[in-house]
Amino acid sequence: MLGVKVAVVTFSHDFMARAYVEDTGLAWPLLLDEDRQLYRSYGMLSASFWDLWGPSSWIAYGREIMKGNMPKPPAGDVYQRGGDVLIDPDGIVRLHHVGSGPADRPSVESILALIRKT
């Protein structure tokens, strides 16, 4: 279809990563970055209290609750920022987004549009 390969990166320990795969049914490879070297390389450092518990997070959690998706208690370092990185087959970074909090992610539509354009 679009020739895209997806990998998910986590800093969680092996047993937490396995539980995540089982809970979510993750179909993509899950890579462990326990020392967070990759996170640091992409500027995904610690979030502030306000980033995690500000209005955008509450709105996102509210939307999920309205869909019937109750948040689970956090496991691991909740202050670790996440993000999205899209690397083309030539190794060129086409998207580098560091999330400001749990609700800050590019839309699937914008990522797909970028893939189609490159």
47-58: pLDDT as tens digits: 998 888 888 888
Each residue of 58-89: b (16+ CB within 10 Å) or e? eebbeeeeeeeeeeeeeeeeeeebbbebbeee
Which H helix or E strand runs over 83? strand 83-87
- 8 Å CB contact between 110 and 60: no
**pLDDT (tens digit per residue) in 94-116:** 999 999 887 788 999 999 999 99
The label of the residue with tokens 């690397």 reads 87
Using CA atoms, how far apart are residues 85 and 41, in angstroms rounded to an integer?
Answer: 12
Single pTM value for the model: 0.77
Q: How confident is the model at residue 4 (pLDDT cuts 50, 70, 90)?
A: confident
Mean pLDDT of the region 84-92: 91
Q: Domain ranges for the chain, please list them.
A: 8-117
